[in-house]
Structure 1
Amino acid sequence: MRVVCVGLATVDLVQRVERLPGVDEKAEALSADVAAGGPATNAAVTAAALGASVTLVTAVGAHPLGALIRADVAACGVSLLDAAPRATAPPPVSAVTVVRATGQRTIVSRNARGADVTAPPGLADVLGAADIVLVDGHHPALARAAAACGRPLLLDAGSWRPVFADLLGAADVVAASAAFRMPGAAAAGTGAALRAAGVRRGAITNGPDPVAWWSGDRGGELPVPGVPAVDTAGAGDVFHGALAVALARDPDLLPALRYAVRIAGIRVRHAGPRAWLDAVRSQRKSAPGHAPRFHT
C-alpha cells in the first residue's frame, strides 16, 4: 500500500509544563522533545507506523535544521521528496507547549508563509504510484499538482487556505476540523458549505466530541470513545494519517473513520511526539499482514 503525503514539514519543539506562563512569566519545562512536525509530516509518520509505504512531499532545504527533519522522518520509515533541496532559509519551527494535567496544547508557528515552492522532478511518478494522496494545503503548487494527479485525494482541512478553492472539488474525501471555516460560511454551516462546494464525502472532527460525517446521501455522527488525554498535540494529524491508510485499503468512509478515531485515541494517551508509535507497532507485529485492531 502506497501513501503519499503532500504539505508542511516543521521542526517542532514540544515542552510539557504544569501550567502555561502568563505575560512576562517563565515556566520550567517538565520535559522537552524535538521532532519533525506539520500536518502532512505527522500524517506520514502515522501511515508508516500503520504499515504503509509512505513518501512525504514537502520543502526542507539545506539549512542545518533541515537535517533534523530528514533524520527523524527516515527513522520513522518515511521517504522524503524535497521540493526545495538547495534552499538556505531555515525550515518552519513550531513551539508546542503541552499542559501536563489536561494534555491540551498551544502552538506558535510560521508554517510555510513566504516559501515559494514549485513541483520537484519526479513528483508526477511519485503521485502516480500512490494508492491515496493526502494534502494539507501548505505549499500550494505541490497541493495543486497532487489534486491533478488522478489518484484518490484526501484533503486535510484544518483551517481555510486559499488553495482549498482549487482542491475541494477534486477531493474524494475532505476531513475538516471544527475550526475550519469557508469564507462566507456561518459558524454552524461548515458541513453544508462543503457540500455546496461539491464535496460528496467528508467528515468534521471536534476533539473528543462526535465526528460528523456524510457520504453521498448518507450521514450521521460517529461517537468518539472517551480516553484519558495525556497529550493532544498532533492528534488531528494522526487521525488523517490513519484515515488515509484505511481508505487506501477500503474506500468505505464510515469504517475508515472508526479506524482513524481508534488510532487518534492511542496517540492522545501518550506523552511526546513519538512514544505513542511503539504501541501501534507492537500491535501490528502481533498480527502481521492484517490491519491492526485497537480497542478503546
Structure 2
Amino acid sequence: MTHIAVLGSTNMDLVAFVEKAPQRGETVTGREFRTIPGGKGANQAVAAARAGATVSMIGAVGNDSFGARLRSTLEHSGVETDHLRTTEGSSGTAHIVVDDHGGNAIVVIPGANGTVDHLVPGDEGLIATADALLLQLEIPLAAVLAGAQAARAHGVRTILTPAPAQPLLPELLAATDLLLPNEHEAAALTGRTDPRSAALALLERVPQVVVTLGAEGSLYATRDAEPVTVPAPRVTALDTTGAGDTFAGTLAVAITEGRPMPEALAWAAAAASLSVQRAGASESMPYRPEIEARYTS
C-alpha cells in the first residue's frame, strides 16, 4: 500500500442547492442546505484514502464544532490526522451555491487554514516517508513552497493542484513534478485558452502537466512525448463540487502504484465520474471497489 501525504486546507462546505444561481443583487429561493466537510486538501486526502492508499493530512482546523467534525470525517475515511493542528478560532469555510446543472460558485474563508504558513516539527519527517505529496493553494504559499521543497529534498514526488489560480513562485514550480490544473487554471497561468497550448507552455516550467477538462476527460503532456487526451465516462452530473479533488487524490494513488499514465488518468476519471453523480465533496467520493467496477465496465 502506498503512502500519500497531503499538505493543504480543511473547510466546512456550507452548500445551498438552487435551480439557478443568483446574479449580482438577486435573491433566489433554494431547495436545500447542507454542511459538508471539505477543503481541497482534505478532499484530496479522503479521495486518496478511499482509493486505497495510506494517507496523512498536514493542516489545521479551528477549535470550533466544525473543526471537530472535520477531523472526525478525515479519520472515518482512514486519513491519519496526527499532523492536523488545532488552532484558536474558526475553522475554514467554503460557501457554495450548486445549481440544477451541477455547476457551482464558491467563496472560501480560510479561517484556521491561514495559520498554516510554515512546516512545524515533524512535518518534514512525515513528508519524507511518503511516496507522493499532494499540494493545493488554499493555504499560504510559504507553506506550500516549504512542503514542496521538503519533498524534493527527500526524493518524494510532488503533485500540485494550482487552485485557486494565482501566480506561482518559480521556486515552487522548480520543486513540482506534476502540475494538475483544470482548463481555466491552465489558461490563467499561461494566458492561453487552448488546453494543449497551455499545457505545452507549462512544460517550460514543470516536467509533467495534466490539464483536467471536466466531462471531456484530461490532457497529459510531458517533455518527451506528444500530448495525450484521455476521455472520461459519460454521466449526468448532479454536483461537480470536489470532482477535481477526487481526480487528484485518485490519480496520486494510481501513479504511486505504478500504473502507466494513460491508465492512471482513466482510473482517476472513473472515480471523478462517480463523485459528480452524488451531492457534496468528500461525501461523494467513491471507494476503491466502486472505482474498479466503473473503470472495468
Whether TM-score is above 0.5 comes out as yes
Query: 1:92: which partner in 2?
Result: 92
Do 1:159 and 1:179's aligned partners in 2 also have CA atoms closer than 8 Å? no
Query: 1:192: which partner in 2?
Result: 200
| Offset at residue 145 of structure 1 (A) | 2.7
Give the structure with the larger helix fraction. 2
d(CA) in 2 for partners of 1:257 and 1:97? 28
Larger CA deviation: 35-44 vs 59-68: 59-68
d(CA) in 2 for partners of 1:68 and 1:109? 18
Do 2:53 and 2:253's aligned partners in 1 also have CA atoms closer than 8 Å? yes
Query: 2:256: which partner in 1?
Result: 248
| Offset at residue 275 of structure 1 (A) | 4.7
Q: Name the aligned partner's letter for residue 89 of structure 1.
A: G
| Offset at residue 134 of structure 1 (A) | 0.7
Do 1:233 and 1:273's aligned partners in 2 also have CA atoms closer than 8 Å? yes
Q: Name the aligned partner's letter for residue 152 of structure 1.
A: R
| Offset at residue 196 of structure 1 (A) | 1.3
- SS of the equivalent of 1:59 reads strand
d(CA) in 2 for partners of 1:127 and 1:49? 20
Correspondence list, 1:51-200, <5 A:
51-82=52-83, 84-85=85-86, 87-100=87-100, 102-111=101-110, 115=115, 117-137=117-137, 138-148=139-149, 149=151, 150=154, 151-180=156-185, 181=187, 185-188=191-194, 189-197=197-205, 199-200=206-207
d(CA) in 2 for partners of 1:255 and 1:114? 36
| Offset at residue 281 of structure 1 (A) | 5.2
The answer to whether 1:207 aligns with 2:206 is no
d(CA) in 1 for partners of 2:22 and 2:179? 36
Larger CA deviation: 171-180 vs 108-117: 108-117
What do the CA deviations read for 1:63-114 (whole angstroms, capped 9, x no partner)?
34322211221222212245653x32312211112123x2111111134685
Do 1:2 and 1:129's aligned partners in 2 also have CA atoms closer than 8 Å? yes
CA 1:83/1:165 → structure 2, altered by over 3 Å: closer, same or farther? farther
Do 2:116 and 2:143's aligned partners in 1 also have CA atoms closer than 8 Å? no
Correspondence list, 1:247-286, <5 A:
247-250=255-258, 252-277=260-285, 280=287, 283=290
CA 1:255/1:232 → structure 2, altered by over 3 Å: closer, same or farther? same
Seq. identity, %? 26
Q: Name the aligned partner's letter for residue 48 of structure 2.
A: A
Do 1:42 and 1:237's aligned partners in 2 also have CA atoms closer than 8 Å? yes
Do 1:7 and 1:139's aligned partners in 2 also have CA atoms closer than 8 Å? no
TM-score by length of 2: 0.86
Aligned residues: 285
TM-score by length of 1: 0.86
RMSD after superposition: 2.5
- SS of the equivalent of 1:191 reads helix
What do the CA deviations read for 1:119-178 (whole angstroms, capped 9, x no partner)?
122102210111111111333233223212231111112343345432222222111111
Do 1:119 and 1:141's aligned partners in 2 also have CA atoms closer than 8 Å? no
Query: 2:231: which partner in 1?
Result: 223
What do the CA deviations read for 1:233-284 (whole angstroms, capped 9, x no partner)?
110111000111001101632221111111101111122335534x525547
Q: Name the aligned partner's letter for residue 133 of structure 1.
A: L
d(CA) in 1 for partners of 2:247 and 2:178? 13
CA 1:117/1:83 → structure 2, altered by over 3 Å: closer, same or farther? farther
| Offset at residue 48 of structure 1 (A) | 0.9
